[in-house]
Amino acid sequence: MHSIHPRRVPERRFSQFFIASFRSADCPGVDSPRRFHRRFHMSTVGFIGLGIMGLPMAENLVKAGYDVVGYNRSARRVDALVAAGGRGASSIAEAVKGSDVVITMVPDSPDVVAVAMGEDGIFENSHSGQLVIDMSTIEPATARAVAEAGAKVEVRVLDAPVSGGEAGAVEGVLSIMVGGAAEDFAAAKPVLEAVGRTIVHVGPHGAGQTVKAANQLMVAGHLQLLAEALVLAEASDVDPVIAVEVLGGGLAGSTVLDRKSENMLKRDFTPGFRLSLHHKDMGIVTAAAREAGVAIPLGSAVAQLIASLVARGDGGLDHSGLFKLTEELAGRTQ
């Protein structure tokens, strides 16, 4: 099994007692033997795609002790990573060369193909045994194609899409569903632990994206039902804040309710995850369902509601913006 090749400082062997002695005000951030190990046995991570999700993920890798080299089409996002302690790259090639691990976090399947397989992309600048982790949300078939292309140049590829939104990315508590070889998952897990809390190997290449499609299907359904429940409460002269408190304590409680009800109640749809991206994801969901030969009647209905919001120009809103359309359909716009 290939291993991630750390960039080492001169070796020392520390007892657990000596490691514990560094957990003090004199050494802030060294709060566990694992983090201590990372700071003294540092791996370089090339991070491509510093958007709403990518930037805080890259920053958490820096906090965990990794040497992070970031690339993004917008230089402003690269500058933000540098300010957080990372390093900036002016091209994909610069981010890839010299990195032990390369992470991609870009919008869609064509973007992943271009970044990984395109001219002067990852595979043209990779080295044998390098580990590439695509954390974007893309079609399962594309994930499999990228993995096959990587194998031809002796690059290990995992599809590892995430769930948890911007808040989860900032807090480092993302749920990560990983597809690929078990030994590659084992090698990648320490890196993934810097950005996520629930990290599960779900199967072969493409399986991570299939589980992510199921996740996006459920999130869309929860958002729409939450919107309908709040509109119903308000139309019935029930305080929706009290309704949310009660709903959250029962079987209807969910992470969607906890994180998105306030957006709906305040009519604040500042994007954490844009409707345009969820629209893309629902396209992946419907395509996956068609390929598997299964019906998703409720999912199809929500997909159409999201599509209508995007078509009329609301794609830049947070996906909790489903509440906006639900209010309008009920004739209760403020």
Q: What is the pLDDT of residue 100?
A: 96
Catalytic residue list contains 212? yes
- pLDDT tens, residue by residue, 266-299: 999 999 899 999 999 999 999 999 999 999 999 9
pLDDT at residue number 177: 98
In this prediction, residue 219 carries a pLDDT of 96
The burial of 74, by beta-carbon neighbours within 10 Å (0-12 exposed, 13-18 middle, 19 or more buried), is given as: exposed
Per DSSP, what are the bridge partners of residue 45?
68, 101
pLDDT tens digits for 97-142? 999 999 999 999 999 999 999 999 999 999 999 999 999 999 999 9
Residues forming beta bridges with residue 201, ordered by sequence position: 178
Q: What's the rounded Cα separation, in Å, for the pair 167 and 42?
A: 27
Which of 63, 152, 212, 260 does the annotation list as catalytic?
212
Which tens digits make up the pLDDT trace of 63-74? Answer: 999 999 999 999
Per-residue pLDDT tens over the stretch 174-226: 999 999 999 999 999 999 999 999 999 999 999 999 999 999 999 999 999 99
The per-residue pLDDT for 8 is 36
Q: Backbone dihedral region of 29: left (phi > 0), alpha (psi from -120 to 50 degrees) or beta?
A: left
- Residue 270 DSSP label: -
pLDDT of amino acid 244: 98
Q: pLDDT value at position 10?
A: 32
Confidence label for 245 from pLDDT (cuts 50, 70 and 90): very high
Tokens of 136: 């974007």
161 contacts 177 by C-beta, under 8 angstroms: yes
pTM to 2 decimals? 0.83
Q: How many Cβ atoms sit within 10 Å of the Cβ of residue 279?
A: 19
Q: What is the pLDDT of residues 8-63, one digit of tens each?
A: 333 333 333 333 333 333 444 444 433 433 433 449 999 999 999 999 999 999 99
Give the pLDDT score at 333.
81
Give the bridge partners for 46, in sequence order.
Answer: 69, 102
Q: Nearest-CA neighbor of 156 among 138, 132, 192?
A: 132
User: Distance between CA atoms of 45 and 55, rounded to whole angstroms?
Assistant: 13
pLDDT score recorded for residue 24: 35
pLDDT given at position 31: 42
Query: What pLDDT does 27 receive?
Result: 43
The mean per-residue pLDDT over the stretch 250-255 comes to 96
pLDDT at 34: 39
Report in angstroms the alpha-carbon separations of 258 from 102, 171, 323: 33, 15, 15
| Structure confidence at residue 272 (pLDDT) | 85
Say what the pLDDT of residue 20 is. Answer: 35
Q: Which two tokens stand for residue 262?
A: 């306030």
